[in-house]
A and B are shown apart, each in its own frame.
Chain A
Amino acid sequence: MKYLLRTALAGGALVFALALASAAWIEYSARNSCASVGVPSFPAQTPGGASATLVDRILPEYQIGEKHSVIVVAPSARAFESLKEAKSDAQPIIKLFNLLPVLAGKSDNSSPSEKKSLYEKLQDSSGLVLEEPNRELVAANIATADKHIPSTPETVRGFVAYRLRHNEMKLPVSFHAEPVESGVRLTTETRIMFADRKLCRDFAWYWGVIYPGSSLLRVDFLDAVKRRAEHGMAPIPEDQKEVPETATDGGTQ
């Protein structure tokens, strides 16, 4: 019995020490990230002068973000096809996150077969959707910390020019496929920009606490896409076998 009690004590001490270290890090990280709120930004450029990616064009500067990538040994079209079909909770460990709404008393009544893929969910729930077939998808929103729902501009120019008000943030989520020697590097990136330093600090605390789960979710989602592309052999639609040279973002600029 003593050993079990000693384990409990050691576990408690470890949790306490880690909680202190985590709080110190999140505070430091929040201060650091939010120091750039309101500082003028310069658009990201590639050496050739063109904007690097769609997400660089709509939000080159941001305070909080995360970026994960995976090498998929398959053509870009197949990787993107897998991305379109993959559900966000395909991996068993991610299914554990589905318990959170149940524990909070907000159970999701839809059956798993009715659930849409993450790609479809992003397209449905985002105010601005930009897509370069088989290369990049950006789903962007103007989000708020309070109850009012701002309307997200539906053009790139409108989104870039949008002046954030109190409690608002710009939030694009992107998937980008970049050709590499063995296949494609599939990258997912989330960027968040604030105009209000207090909101940034508050959100940075929230983000810092949920970060490990959010990060794990993205890594496992990319892993599911990789497996589907490499082993599930998602069919390549005839019209997507060749990657077009020009962007088809709806001609919104």
Chain B
Amino acid sequence: MNSFLRFAAVLVALCNWYALTIGGSPAILASYGWADLLALLLPTVLGLVAAELTIRRARKPLAGNFLDRYAAMAATVWIGGMLCGVVLAWGGVLHDQALGLVGTIGFGAVASLWGVICGGVLGIGEGLMLGLPLAVVLGWFGEKAGSVPTARGVFERVRTPRDG
């Protein structure tokens, strides 16, 4: 289940990164060198951070009923959107040679604000849509891992002899 969450978060982050930087012109991808491809590590890491936050902070909802799983997945995509928004917005600030260290930090705050707002709006929009299929798939994983639905609708793992 955790691996699926990490995989889904990284996939969503990479797809968004692709849409925002390459978009409808895959020819741009052909002009990418190794250094540019290394930039793909950024959305991967941000996706993993969002997934780890959810795994650590929302263990119960992830194993809960559909609505809980849906909310947790929507929140994960939302957090990922905010993180990616901040990093994208910092891109321009970091490249400005007219700013000193103080200016970079100062305008970094403004960039972060825009990143959180714009990334957050896109993230919650995507999260509310993608949360539905992701919550369904997450439910299948819960079942396949040996969980059974309880009377409260919560999946609980069945202890097997191999568990000791």
Query: Using a CB–CB distance below 8 Å, which chain A residues touch chain B?
Result: 1-4, 6-7, 11, 14-15, 18-19, 21-22, 25-26, 28-29, 65-69, 91-93, 95-96, 187, 189, 208-209, 211-219, 227, 230-232
| Residue in A closest to B20 when the chains form the complex, CB atoms | A93
- The listed residue (A29, A93, A219) touching B106 by CB distance below 8 A is A29
Q: Would you call the interface of chain B mostly helix, strand, loop, or mixed?
A: helix
Are A68's CB and B95's CB within 8 A?
A: yes
Task: Kindly count the residue-residue contacts between A and B in the assembled complex, taking CB atoms under 8 Å apart.
Answer: 119
Task: Decide yes or no whether B46 CB sits under 8 A from chain A.
Answer: no
26 A-B pairs (CB sep. < 8 Å)? A3-B54, A3-B58, A4-B75, A6-B57, A7-B75, A7-B78, A7-B79, A11-B82, A15-B113, A22-B113, A28-B106, A65-B98, A67-B98, A68-B96, A68-B97, A92-B21, A92-B24, A92-B25, A95-B23, A211-B107, A211-B110, A215-B93, A215-B111, A219-B95, A227-B28, A231-B30
Mask of B108-122 contacts with A, CB within 8 angstroms, 1/0: 011111111100100
List B contacts of A212 (CB < 8 A). Answer: 89, 92-93, 107, 110-111, 114-115
Task: Decide yes or no whether B45 CB sits under 8 A from chain A.
Answer: no
List A contacts of B109 (CB < 8 A). Answer: 18, 21-22, 25
Taking each of B24, B74, B111, which has the highest tally of chain A beta carbons within 10 Å of its own beta carbon?
B111
Query: Interface size (B, Cβ < 8 Å)?
Result: 46
Question: In the complex, how many angstroms separate the beta carbon of A12 from the nearest chain B beta carbon?
Answer: 10
Q: Kindly list 10 other residue pairs between chains A and B, CB separation below 8 angstroms, not including A11-B116, A25-B109, A28-B106.
A: A4-B75, A15-B117, A18-B116, A26-B110, A65-B98, A67-B97, A67-B98, A211-B107, A212-B111, A219-B91
